Structure 1
Amino acid sequence: MKRWALASTLLLVLIQTAAARETIRLANNPALSPDGQWLAFDWNGDIWVASSTGGEAKPRTSYTGRDSHPKFSPDSKEIAFVSDRETSLQVFKIPFDGGVPKQLTFHTGGTLVQEYAPDGKSLLVKATRDHFWRHGERFFTLKRGERSAERLLFDDYGDNGVLSPDGKKLLFTREGGAWWRKGYKGSGVAQVWLYDLEAKTFTKVLHGEFGCRWPLWKPDGTGFYYVAEHARGSNLYLHDFASKASKQLTQFKSDSVVFPAIARDGSKIVFRHLFDLYCHQPSNGVTKKLELFHNSDRTVKKSEYRVLNSASSAAFSQDGLDIAFIAGGDLWVMDTELREPRQITQTPQEEANPIFTPDGQAIFYVSNVGDRFAISRAVRSDPKKFWWQNTRFTTTNLAVMNEAPSKLKLSPDSKTLAFVRGRGDLCVLDLEMNKWTGVFADWSAPDYDWSPDGNWFVYTKLDEDFNRDIWLMSSDGKGKPFNLSRHPYAEYDPVWSPDGKMIAFAGRRASGDPGASICLVFLNPDDDEKTSRDRKLEKALDKMRGRKEGGKDEPKPLKKPAGVNIDFDRLHERVKRVNLGEGSANTLFWSPDSKKLAFTGSYDGKTGTFTIDIGDNLTPKSLSTTTGSNPVWLKTGNQIVWLVNGVPTSTPGVASAAPADPTPAPIVPKKGGGKGGAKAQGPPSLGFTAGGGYTFSVRQQVDLPARNAAIFDSCWRIMRDHWYDGKLGNNDWDKVRAKYRDMAWQAPDPETVQVCVQMMLGELNGSHLGFTLAAGDAAGKPAAPRDTTAHLGVRFAQGFAGPGLKIRDVLPSGPADKKRSQLATGDIIQKIDGVEVDGDMDLTLVLNGPADREMNLLVQGVDGQPREVALRPISYVAAQGLLYDHWLNHNRKLVADASKGSFGYLHISAMSMPNFRKFEEELVSQGAGKDGLVIDVRENPGGSIADHLLTALTQPTHAITVPRGGGPGYPLDRKVYISWHKPIVVLCNQNSGSNAEIFSHAIKTLNRGQLVGVPTVGAVVSTGAVQVMDAGTLRLPTRGWFTINDGEDMEKNGAAPHHLLWLQPNQLPAGRDAQLTKALDVLRADVEAWKSRPQPKLKLSTDRP
């Protein structure tokens, strides 16, 4: 009996052990011990260690946030890593066998570890401080055993830094985009550089067609390993310094070698390919995939509970008593008193767009059916009970389609359901025949509304010039569409009045409109011509109509709307504009009696909801400070129902406090959802919200693998249906899905799902792509840094022996550039808040503290006299803005000095309207009296103002004006913008992107000037963003740009300068700008040619014979 019990126990242990074993895939940032015996990596937010041959891995850290980028010390005794446990990324270390992590860095700007120095005495780190306004990341060394100053290696940016075995040289990379993008060719590819620490010289070693990354030194220093990219991925190579030859070591035909690491003895190189880690042995060329697993008690969770108290969309029944809403991607229903939501659907995908039938007997919504979409209907299992009294519901898929339906709207007779399919097809579903047909096909989703008789649609249509007009069309799709607005500025959100007599919409109606006006049109001119007395008479008759004898009123049922009568003759000329001044209108909706038009937006300096009484005086009146989405003005209770900040709301409303949640305390998962040990917390506070909000709280059980797959599928479908190039990178998009979906399903945390989505996006080889996770707080993680590293508004001289800190320069307009707290170049700060300081100490010991505080300095002036200075510091982020002004002033002075005041300099940091307004001002402040302008769009990531800039630079010159006693010119008030017709030269580089590239291409196309610098990056596509479930945001590029001369796509086709010139590292931060110097030479020649052009001799009429 005992033998049987023992055998059973052993069997149970074996079963439990097998059940706990989990495979580890998509491990990140591998590192090898110096002898190559051990492998460290980060996975599921922690640092793990395993044998370099694979097998069982064990965690070395266990933290609710993210630990990453492990690095072995040369003596193998400790592992340094990066963690967000102090909110900003900081470097920590931990003993090899585990223990309590020790923090090594404290600057709240964050620090990333690169490696230990070969002698083990210091760490090589990368951080952004105050060295330059853009690409401010720099390499530093930190002493290993003590808290000391960061030592700058050189003053310019780089990445993937590795020190040579003798510690005298540094290999690093410059440029390079997202590691997950495949096949990019252009000026932005990664380059490998070599820096000699003793000679202080730079050498570009590799600059391949597709880019080279992640250099790793050979132990003898004669060469290095690296990753070279190709059209479909990348491989591992070996470069020899002496022969300058490279040898390919791995032979992967597709997918990328990423994050390689080498043992210090050179015995092994480990990297990730696709989802798995591989080990390469240089001695025999063997490459082997590593099988990794763990048997820890921290298994990846397959399901979790989460508390939901916010909806993404909501709909009310016509009596306002029932609410259907989407929360956590599922469909729920509740009443307005108990507010105990009942779950109708429970799927990993996201339901959307719920609407009640007028009788309240059914709810229509959008759902997923496998790989397709459906318009579905939900009804109560027991129709004799209210929705909130039912616990079971019946759902039916009415129409299944490949492209997502949206914008569901029932026809007035409830027999037809209209919807938008895919990118923009307006369709109708016959609910009796259960058959859908198209009304019209389009490439852009319209706003639309039914006419009250169901015979017409009013809708928006975007033309090929991206102007959106208001159109009318028969709801059966027959007949020719009619353009109602016929206006050069975009209109949107058309709404038909319930009485069928009017259509209102929003849009700009004049070039000077700062926002959107409201437009109103009567469909019959007789209604348009009614006087105010006519309308008052109608109102009086409405009140008297139906009165019984004896003076008592008897309510009558609402009449069926009469047929809509449209007089198309000169209809667009009858559009009336309600001028909102500086205000704007967002969403329009009617009162049930058509007497008022409501809108959300701003008016008279206030934001909220406003109404307009239909009559002679169309003046907006404030209704409420509340605004929401999908508003409906119900006749019952005269209430507006909508979704306000995620809460179903009635305005005005009478919602009472919600009841306490009868369910047990919810289980709130740790960040990542993949680790055990969830922390229990109470439900969120419930109650009345301003404006009649119907708050709620529900617990939702989530199947995490299915949810992960649904997130991935949503991103995959969105790109399939909307990416601007229908060829999808010449990929079989179904195969791309099959390649990554299973890994997304297995993902241990949201961050790994994000990586799967990004790798899928990388197959497109496109710009403006990315998936950002929704913000989430990890348990125990501080919401904000406890301290902030202060910036004094000065920069310190490197290498100053002390004592104290010598000021290298003072940032303009910073805290040290004020009269009461003035510091000067050459001053020496001896004490900060009473603590003696010098260049060897970690200044965060005195600079870290509350963000808003005063600091006291003891300063030795350049005259040798001590003085006390009190100032209020700024953040390092704010200092980077001052560094921009510092650089701008330097360039302006350089141009003024080199041209003897005849040239001006303008830099456009981004293509936004504030930058254009600044550009207009500087055409005068920097251009007045000058013969030429340098226009700099280097480091400009893009925006949308290229055409505004070009209008200012290419306005026609067709006449000359001369006032009596004055000189020749032209009145500025007659021009569209302040203009510049003299010579220009434009600077661009590999970091000029998107709209800055469109501008650069246009300068060449229009022959307006010459380009100097480096080809732009080739990232030109118009993009937006969409919310993916409640998981994150996906960037969505939908419009390509093509050059007008040869029709070439500007994507992956940067604007090539007339004069190609790369800057060398260390030049720009030191104030040496060879590109700007070349631009001045080019401009000088163009100005000379411009000055020599023939000029007309002005002749007065009285000078004629």
Structure 2
Amino acid sequence: MQNLKGVASGLLLFLLTACFAYAEEGRLMRFPDIHKDEIVFVYAGDLWLVPREGGVARKLTSHPGPELFPKFSPDGNSIAFTGVYDGNPDVYVIPTEGGEPRRLTYHPGARPSSGGVEIDDWVIDWYPDGKSILFRSSRESFPTSKLFHINLEGGFPEALRLPEAGLASFSPDGKRIAYNRKSREFRTWKRYKGGRAQDIWIYDPKTDGIERITDWDGTDNFPMWSGEKIYFTSDRDHKLNIYCYDLTAKNIRKITNHQEYDVKWPSLGPDAIIYENGGYLFVLDLIGEKTKKISVEIPAERILTRPNWEKISNMITDFSLSPSAKRALFCARGEIFTVPEEKGEVRNITQTPTIREIYSAWSPDGKWIAYLSDRTGEYELYIRAQDGTGGEKRITTDGNCYRFHPVWSPDSKKLLYSDKKLRLYYVDIDEREPVLIDKAGVSEIHDYAWSSDSRWVIYSKNNPAYFASIFLYSLDQKKVNQITGDLTDDFSPVFGPEGKYLYFVSARSFYPTFSDFEHSYVYRNTRNIYLITLQADSLSPFAPESDEEEGKEEDKDKEKKGKEEDKKKKDEDEGEEKPKDIQIDLDGIDQRIVGVPINPGNYAGLTAAKDKIFYLSMPAIYEPGSDSKPQNELHMYDVKERKDETILTGINNYDISKDGDKIIYRSGNTYGIIDAKSGKNKVGDGKINTDGMEMKVDPGGEWEQMFNEAWRLERDFFYDPDMHGVDWKMMKRRYGQLLPHVAHRWDLTYLLGELIGELCCSHTYVRGGTMPKTEHVDIGLLGADLEPDRKGGFYRFKKIYKGENWKDDRRAPLTEPGVDVKEGDYLITVNGKEVTYPDNPYAFLEKTVDKQVKIKVNDKPSADGAREVTVKPARSEYMLRYLDWVETRRRMVDEGTDGRVGYIHVPNTSLFGLNEFSRSFFAQARKEGLIIDVRYNGGGMIPDMFIERLERNLMSLWAPREGQIGRTPSVALFGHMVCIINENAGSGGDALPYYFREQGLGPLIGTRTWGGLVGISRRLPLMDGGSVTCPEFAFMNLKGEWDVENHGVDPDIEVDNRPDLVIKGHDPQLEKAIEVIMKKLKEEPKKLPEKPPYPIKK
């Protein structure tokens, strides 16, 4: 027994030694806090503790969901943090010594989830007495987030009166708060100086008084109140460093001087500030104001970096069909797979988990698969055997920018491809010398195809009017010819395999659709399919037909011809006939365009097989949310029979086999192979089993690949080739050295944000990616503000929000027909469970979204006499709170102007904003004036459509015998306008007020806008399903100057919505707008003429 004890002791000593031996110095430690001699931080999504002097860290949590923003309690015994444990961020508390985290909040926030990094229930700090926790949430407020406090023991969170707040810090006595009115800590935009630039303010909760103590035009954030000093971070010297504001002397001193990386996430302890810099932790001693790097060793678990097998059929990025339709070809998560139609195994033919392959294509002879790979650090074109055997063959060696999909020539000897520099190439797979076909001058070339004899290339290219024309390239002559004109929009060209016709889509069918509300029109469904006869002596396949009697000689000729055709078909079956050289007569080719006899529509995805063409009919989508399911229809048009048939509905896209007899389709995550013929086909028929698509994922290798690809994507797509003067290669080295320390996908998201943030540009976002999976537990919401009745012991409905119950996404659970709940009523039970103060009422609403829930309510705080009603809790209250905010201001304008002036809020410049604007504009266009409110506008599209309506002028009047005088235009304001703006209006919300002023529509009132006026046209996908965005174009004014970006649009009349006034129920900006427009109506009245006497014409 003694010997066994010795062995056990030795084994324990060995294990401990091994553990410490594999500890490494930590980097990418995030969100630190300090209390006396102990530090807490986040690493790999978990909480860790380490002594103030450094050393080996101790892990405190290990949940798959990330923990964020840890804060020591004033006594150091507890740590509050935000935990994403049930798919929802909430406030938790855990003992410093370890144990089970205790949940304090149960609210999903008012905002709908966007998949970004916006965190609700964000722990800010502890109250100095240690009895409550301060956190930030959007739960009660459109359109901003507020500060809340919640008791350490849980219960009901209550809001501070501040109408908007970001980061905050209590004064030592707890009587005042230093805070940022705005929050942008997760914005990936360095050196920002737009309207949302942060300053430090002091708020007195007792008097609601505020005082601004910094006024730098860049960033001043992370206030930390220590004694008579408020420390904060600022980018006054380019990089974020710590500064100090002396409350007595009222001056500012710079404390730290980091030159390479920003000071990130500083946090105040009793006698020190801890912060991140370059992924390391630093402690700033407040007595001597000296900073010291802390060396932290983290036991090398790094569980999330371990290679693991994953099914990836839900990550397919492109697909096609093998020539014989026996297999399907997929790209997924950077690998290339072939999957059998029915029998056989799934093959991963590349097996390079740390290298990305994209845009695969199967050669027509079935032997090769072509694809792009970034094996060299740039995308190059490769081919390899279709079964994955043997090595890959590199075809190009000149990669220096992003490239697009390769297309095989029918003889399987050449490949077409295009690139981001607007070039189109072909390359012979044996010679491997790319030949430049054309370089566009307007935009990228994406439509290109081969003739059946592999001697011609057809493609479309935009002209300066963004109308595309069809171009033809001869490999023999090395010459390009434009074959359609500049006055039509022609694209998606393909050759028919017989060599007789060229097919394409063109938007040349003009049938106006008139508005239901105004004398206006748009052109929809302008596209049709056309063909060109390639030989001058060829008849149109749609030439007039005539039934004629055939004589005996004709019968013999017909019989002879039939035998010849049968022999020809037999020869084709026995051995594939070599395609004949195609003759193309260019003279008069534009006069040989013939329309395919189908109705105009919204068509795309044109392909051709023998005597048949296939295309997608895509419905126009205008209603938000209506694009959630695939709606495209796949059609087949038989050219010989002149017959159009629907093959399949409800799909995204498709591909056809070489002979045109089989089709592969995609509908969401469903893929199937079916016969190319009409019938009762439905999604799910011929379903391919993609479950076998799995790969061994190497997270660390993936993260490195994605970092490098994101760097390349910005290099290739950013609108300024000089990258705003930033040394982009140096940035790659600077942030690339942190890559070995990435231990969680959130780390990579952060690192990519830091990298692209160096461009100092708006619209640089990082989204998505493969995160550790956590179950989402939804919380139902009742569409109401609750308040505790501490004496009565229940919760009272303080405010019930009204909705538009005829629309599901705007329904208000407590105002639906038959639901008898009133403001002032008490909530007594939820599904039979009594809800009493201080229980958190939202804890009773888990898993209730859109489900029938029985609640009991009463007009007194008692179960006696309570009435039961059935409600369906909503997922989000965002829309209800938005509608209430707008209606409150509409009433203020109506009452403040005696109904003479209308009010329109424009929430964004996308579909939602366009619809809300139109609903209000059509109804109020005959007012004497309009207040256009662009505050909190989230952007979207370029807003010229809004301005076109607002700037309309009356041209004439039309007087009937009875009734109201009519107008032309029928919907146009004859009156004055003003526009309200603030720092939360951005992108399209910057452009709208800019255009408003430039067109002379009226003054701008409020505060400077966000200042983000560059454009993105696509999200650039990364290997694991995440993405980055890249500004591809930037705003210029008509003087030839860059404008608005990183500054914003200045108001003509500056009015700040001061928190102390908003707390008292004021909206100073709106009140000023009412004052200004009423003055306009008085001093510059606009009156329509009265109806004159009727003419005498006897």
Q: What TM-score does the superposition give when structure 1 sets the normalisation length?
A: 0.86
Q: CA deviation at 1:103?
A: 2.3
Instruction: Give the direction of change, closer, same or farther, for the CA distance of 1:194–1:468 in structure 2 (3 Å limit).
Output: farther
Establish whether residue 634 from structure 1 lines up as the match of residue 658 from structure 2: yes
Structure 1 counterpart of 2:648: 624
Structure 2 counterpart of 1:680: none
Output one character per residue of 1:360-410: Cα deviation in whole Å (capped at 9) or x when no partner. Answer: 23222211243222111213xxxxxxx54x754343344331113222112
Instruction: Give the direction of change, closer, same or farther, for the CA distance of 1:393–1:641 in structure 2 (3 Å limit).
Output: farther
Structure 2 counterpart of 1:142: 150
Structure 1 counterpart of 2:336: 331
Q: CA deviation at 1:735?
A: 0.8
Q: Which secondary structure does the structure 2 equivalent of 1:740 belong to?
A: helix
Output one character per residue of 1:839-875: Cα deviation in whole Å (capped at 9) or x when no partner. Answer: 644223544452312333332289x996625141433
Q: Counterpart amino acid of 2:222? A: W
Q: Which secondary structure does the structure 2 equivalent of 1:168 belong to?
A: coil
Q: Counterpart amino acid of 1:533? A: E
Matches within 5 A, 1:1-12: none
Q: Counterpart amino acid of 1:411? A: S
Establish whether residue 531 from structure 1 lines up as the match of residue 549 from structure 2: no
Q: CA deviation at 1:936?
A: 0.9
Output one character per residue of 1:21-73: Cα deviation in whole Å (capped at 9) or x when no partner. Answer: 2231111110111x2x1110011111000011222111011122212222112
> Quick check: 287-296 or 1010-1019, which moved more?
287-296
Instruction: Give the direction of change, closer, same or farther, for the CA distance of 1:332–1:898 in structure 2 (3 Å limit).
Output: closer
Establish whether residue 755 from structure 1 lines up as the match of residue 779 from structure 2: no
Establish whether residue 292 from structure 1 lines up as the match of residue 296 from structure 2: yes
Structure 2 counterpart of 1:665: none
Q: 2:933 aligns with which of 918, 933, 936?
A: 936
1-side partners of 2:1095 and 2:481: how far apart?
A: 55
Q: Which secondary structure does the structure 1 equivalent of 2:1047 belong to?
A: coil
Instruction: Give the direction of change, closer, same or farther, for the CA distance of 1:425–1:767 in structure 2 (3 Å limit).
Output: same
Q: Counterpart amino acid of 1:87? A: G
Structure 2 counterpart of 1:925: 923
Matches within 5 A, 1:826-905: 826-829=824-827, 840-848=838-846, 850-851=848-849, 852-860=851-859, 868=867, 870-875=869-874, 877=876, 879-905=877-903
Output one character per residue of 1:469-508: Cα deviation in whole Å (capped at 9) or x when no partner. Answer: 44444457955652625346x5543323223313222547
Is contact 2:55-2:295 (8 Å) kept? Answer: yes
Q: Counterpart amino acid of 2:722? A: K
Instruction: Give the direction of change, closer, same or farther, for the CA distance of 1:1060–1:481 in structure 2 (3 Å limit).
Output: farther
2-side partners of 1:155 and 1:994: how far apart?
A: 27
Output one character per residue of 1:609-660: Cα deviation in whole Å (capped at 9) or x when no partner. Answer: 111233696x642112363546124317x11246665676422299xxxxxx
Is contact 1:954-1:981 (8 Å) kept? Answer: no
Output one character per residue of 1:1046-1098: Cα deviation in whole Å (capped at 9) or x when no partner. Answer: 53333223121111111112655764111111112222233345436897997
Matches within 5 A, 1:689-838: 690-695=685-690, 697-776=692-771, 778=773, 781-782=774-775, 784-785=776-777, 788-791=779-782, 793-796=783-786, 802=792, 804-813=794-803, 814-818=812-816, 820-829=818-827
Q: CA deviation at 1:82?
A: 2.0
Q: Which secondary structure does the structure 2 equivalent of 1:278 belong to?
A: strand
Q: 1:373 aligns with which of 376, 379, 384?
A: 379
Output one character per residue of 1:717-765: Cα deviation in whole Å (capped at 9) or x when no partner. Answer: 0000001222212111111111112312431121111111110011011
Instruction: Give the direction of change, closer, same or farther, for the CA distance of 1:754–1:45 in structure 2 (3 Å limit).
Output: same
Is contact 1:983-1:1083 (8 Å) kept? Answer: yes
Instruction: Give the direction of change, closer, same or farther, for the CA distance of 1:133–1:491 in structure 2 (3 Å limit).
Output: farther
Q: Counterpart amino acid of 1:365? A: Y
Is contact 1:439-1:476 (8 Å) kept? Answer: no
Matches within 5 A, 1:457-536: 457-474=457-474, 479=479, 481-482=481-482, 484=484, 486-487=486-487, 492-500=491-499, 501-505=501-505, 507=507, 509-510=509-510, 512-515=522-525, 517-523=527-533, 526-528=538-540, 530-531=542-543, 533=545
Structure 2 counterpart of 1:233: 239
Structure 2 counterpart of 1:133: 142
Structure 1 counterpart of 2:31: 29
Q: What TM-score does the superposition give when structure 2 sets the normalisation length?
A: 0.86
> Quick check: 286-295 or 1061-1070, which moved more?
1061-1070
Structure 2 counterpart of 1:565: 584
2-side partners of 1:552 and 1:460: how far apart?
A: 35
Instruction: Give the direction of change, closer, same or farther, for the CA distance of 1:362–1:8 in structure 2 (3 Å limit).
Output: farther
Q: CA deviation at 1:708?
A: 1.4
Structure 1 counterpart of 2:117: none
Structure 1 counterpart of 2:310: 306
Instruction: Give the direction of change, closer, same or farther, for the CA distance of 1:710–1:528 in structure 2 (3 Å limit).
Output: same
2-side partners of 1:75 and 1:261: how far apart?
A: 16
1-side partners of 2:149 and 2:289: how far apart?
A: 34
Is contact 2:368-2:383 (8 Å) kept? Answer: yes
2-side partners of 1:496 and 1:291: how far apart?
A: 66
Structure 2 counterpart of 1:420: 418
Instruction: Give the direction of change, closer, same or farther, for the CA distance of 1:427–1:184 in structure 2 (3 Å limit).
Output: same
> Quick check: 226-235 or 479-488, which moved more?
479-488
1-side partners of 2:924 and 2:80: how far apart?
A: 51
Q: Counterpart amino acid of 1:942? A: G
Q: Which secondary structure does the structure 1 equivalent of 2:995 belong to?
A: helix
Q: CA deviation at 1:788?
A: 2.0
Query: CA RMSD of the aligned region, Å?
Result: 3.8
Structure 2 counterpart of 1:204: 212
Instruction: Give the direction of change, closer, same or farther, for the CA distance of 1:198–1:275 in structure 2 (3 Å limit).
Output: same
Q: CA deviation at 1:906?
A: 0.8
Q: CA deviation at 1:836?
A: 6.0
Instruction: Give the direction of change, closer, same or farther, for the CA distance of 1:589–1:487 in structure 2 (3 Å limit).
Output: same
Q: CA deviation at 1:1038?
A: 0.9
Q: Counterpart amino acid of 1:547? A: K
User: Gaps (5+ residues) in structure 1?
Assistant: 380-386, 655-687
Instruction: Give the direction of change, closer, same or farther, for the CA distance of 1:396–1:835 in structure 2 (3 Å limit).
Output: closer
Q: CA deviation at 1:901?
A: 1.3
Q: 2:125 aligns with which of 108, 115, 123?
A: 115
Q: Counterpart amino acid of 2:26? A: I
Q: CA deviation at 1:945?
A: 5.5
Output one character per residue of 1:400-456: Cα deviation in whole Å (capped at 9) or x when no partner. Answer: 311132221123344432110224211121334321122222342332222334444
Is contact 1:470-1:486 (8 Å) kept? Answer: no
Structure 2 counterpart of 1:1075: 1069
Is contact 1:323-1:648 (8 Å) kept? Answer: no
Instruction: Give the direction of change, closer, same or farther, for the CA distance of 1:788–1:562 in structure 2 (3 Å limit).
Output: same
Establish whether residue 955 from structure 1 lines up as the match of residue 952 from structure 2: yes
Q: Counterpart amino acid of 2:649? A: T
> Quick check: 934-943 or 867-876, which moved more?
867-876
Structure 1 counterpart of 2:674: 651
Instruction: Give the direction of change, closer, same or farther, for the CA distance of 1:904–1:308 in structure 2 (3 Å limit).
Output: closer
Structure 2 counterpart of 1:382: none
Matches within 5 A, 1:170-189: 170-177=177-184, 178-189=186-197
Is contact 2:635-2:644 (8 Å) kept? Answer: yes
Q: Counterpart amino acid of 1:133? A: F
Q: Which secondary structure does the structure 2 equivalent of 1:209 belong to?
A: coil
Q: Counterpart amino acid of 1:211? A: T
Is contact 2:788-2:794 (8 Å) kept? Answer: no
2-side partners of 1:535 and 1:82: how far apart?
A: 80
Q: CA deviation at 1:296?
A: 5.8
Q: Counterpart amino acid of 1:625? A: T
Q: Counterpart amino acid of 1:74? A: P
Structure 2 counterpart of 1:1053: 1047
2-side partners of 1:542 and 1:330: how far apart?
A: 54
Structure 2 counterpart of 1:343: 349
Output one character per residue of 1:293-320: Cα deviation in whole Å (capped at 9) or x when no partner. Answer: 1236566645333334454334443223
User: Gaps (5+ residues) in structure 2?
Assistant: 110-119, 513-521, 622-629, 678-682, 804-811
> Quick check: 825-834 or 841-850, which moved more?
825-834
Establish whether residue 169 from structure 1 lines up as the match of residue 163 from structure 2: no
Instruction: Give the direction of change, closer, same or farther, for the CA distance of 1:87–1:405 in structure 2 (3 Å limit).
Output: closer
Is contact 1:373-1:400 (8 Å) kept? Answer: no
Is contact 1:317-1:360 (8 Å) kept? Answer: yes
Q: Which secondary structure does the structure 1 equivalent of 2:288 belong to?
A: coil
Structure 2 counterpart of 1:547: 563
1-side partners of 2:558 and 2:754: how far apart?
A: 65
